[in-house]
Structure 1
Amino acid sequence: MSGIDMETTRKLRDMGATALLEAIDAEDELLGMGFEERLRLIVDEAYATFTHGKVDGLIRRAGLRYPAADLRRLDLVEQRGLDAGVIAALATCGFIERHQNVVFQGFTGSGKSYLGCALAKQACQHRYRAHYIRMPDLEEAWATARDKPQGTTKFLKKYVPNVHFEAAW
C-alpha cells in the first residue's frame, strides 16, 4: 500500500483517479527523490495509463473487424501494389485534419478490410473517433435510416463528423 492515508486513498478512488493511485503505489521505492521529481514521475505514469485507457476505448468502440491490425505490420506492401510513402502519409492521420476521404479498392482477399482496420486503429491512437463499417453494411444502414423519422439526420450525425443539420428531410 502507498504511503498515503486511507482517507486520501478513498478520495482518489471516488474521483476516479485510480491510475494516479496505482502510480503512487508503483513509485513508493523512489522516496529518496525530491517531492517535485516524485510527483512528476507519478503524474507521468498515471497519464500514460489514462491515455492508454482512452485509446483502448476508442479502438473497442470503433468495431474493428481486425482489432490487432497495424499499419507498421503490413505484409508485402509493394507486392500488393501499395505505395509505402502513401501508407506512411496515411499513418500521420493528416487526411483527417484536411477532411479527406480514404477509399480502398481491390479484389476479394486483397487486404482492404485489414488495411481499413489498421488505419482506423491508427486514427484512434491519434485520439480520433473511428468507426469500421463495410460498404454493403453502410448502404443497408442508410436504407434503414431513410425509413425512420429523423433517421437520415441521425445517420448523418453518426457518420459525418463536425456537421450540424437543421434542414428537414
Structure 2
Amino acid sequence: MKMGAMAEAYKEQMGNPDFQDMPFEDRLNLLVDQEYSRRKSNKLQRLIKQAKFSDPSAAVEDIEYHADRHLDKQLLLELSSGNYIQHHLNIIIMGASGSGKTWLSNALGVQACRQHHKAKYVRLPELLDEFLAARNEADGSFRKLITKYKKIELLIIDEWLLTALPEEYVYTLFEIIEARLKTSSTIFCSQTAPEGWYEKLEDALVADAILDRIVHDSYKVLLDGEISMRERHGLGACK
C-alpha cells in the first residue's frame, strides 16, 4: 500500500512501552500524521527537483533587507503569500548583475513549491533554443511544448532580454507569453526596466504586444545596493 512512514511509526510504537497506554484512536492518529507528513515532504522535494532551480536552497526567510538595498519588505511578504499566482500575475525583478535577482527568484519559486504549485526555472537563451528546436520538428512538438509550458503555474525566466533577439526569437517569445496570459504567472529577471526592453525586440509591433501582456499585470521589485550581493557573500549565493 506504499505506507512506509506509517509502517515505520507502527514499529516504533510496538517497540516503545510508552505507547501501550495510549488509546487506539490516538495511536492511529499519530500513524496517519506520520504518513501524511512524509508524503507532503516527498511531494515538496519532487516539485523542487522538477523546477531545476539554480539554487534550490534559496528561501524567502533568508532575504537580506540591508538598508542600501531599499527592498520593500511589505511587498515581498505579500509575494511570499503566493496570492499573485492565484490571480495569474507576474513579477519583474530588476537589478544590476550581482544584485541577487536569480537568488530572489529562486526563493520565490521554492516558496511556490511549498504552496504546492508547479514551478520551473530557465534562462531565456535556453528557453528559446528549446522552442526553436521544437518548431523545426514536423511532429507537432512546438504546440506540445506550448501546452507543457502553459501548465507551469510559475515560470521563472532568468537573463531576460540580456541581449537583442533575432526576429525569429521575438515571434517565438510572443507565442510563449501569449499562451500563458491570464492562466499562469511568470517571474522575469532583468538588468533593465521594461522601458529598455524595446531596443532588444527588433519588431516594434511585437515588442508592444509583448510588453502590453507583461507590464500591466506585474509587480515590480527593484534590487539596489551600494555593495553587490556577490561582494557581501564572496562568490556564494546572492541574497
TM-score category by the smaller chain?
0.7 to 0.9
Indicate conservation of the 8 Å contact 1:22/1:46, yes or no. Answer: no
Map of 2:10 onto structure 1: 24
Give ranges in structure 2 of 5+ residues lacking alignment.
153-178, 180-239
User: What is the match of residue 104 of structure 2?
Assistant: 115
Instruction: Give the 3-state SS of the residue equivalent to 1:132 in structure 2.
Output: strand
Aligned match of 1:39: 28
Q: 2:61 aligns with which of 58, 69, 72?
A: 72
Which is further off, 37-46 or 142-151?
Answer: 142-151
Q: Alpha-carbon deviation of 1:19?
A: 1.5
Looking at structure 2, the residues matched to 94 and 52 of structure 1 have their Cα atoms a distance apart, in angstroms, of 22
TM-score (structure 2 length as normaliser): 0.58
Between structures 1 and 2, the one with greater strand share: 2
Given that 2:65 and 2:73 are in contact with CA atoms closer than 8 Å, whether structure 1 keeps it comes out as no
Q: Percent identity?
A: 32
| Contact preservation (8 Å) 1:23, 1:43 | no
The alignment status of 1:152 with 2:138, answered yes or no, reads no
Give the CA deviation at 1:50. Answer: 1.0
- Equivalent pairs, count: 150
The equivalent residue for 1:63 is: 52
* Letter in structure 2 aligned against 1:41: L
Q: Is the 8 A contact 2:82 2:112 kept in 1?
A: yes
Answer 1 or 2: higher relative contact order, Cα 8 Å, separation at least 6. 2
Query: Counterpart of 2:42 in structure 1: which amino acid?
Result: G
TM-score, scaled to structure 1: 0.80
In 2: Cα distance, 1:158 partner to 1:77 partner: 39
Q: Deviations over 1:36-90 (max 9, x none)?
A: 0100011111111110111011111110100100011012355323211111111
Q: Which runs of 5+ in 1 are unaligned?
A: 1-14, 164-169
Query: How far apart, CA to CA, are the structure 2 residues paired with 1:134 and 1:98?
Result: 24
Query: Structure 2 CA distance, aligned partners of 1:153 and 1:77?
Result: 45
Output the CA distance in 1 between the equivalents of 2:100 and 2:62.
12
Q: Give the residue type in structure 2 aligned to 1:157.
A: T
- 1:156 CA drift (Å): 1.4
Inter-partner Cα distance in structure 2 for 1:101 and 1:23 = 43
For the residues of structure 2 that align with 1:131 and 1:152, how far apart are their CA atoms? 18
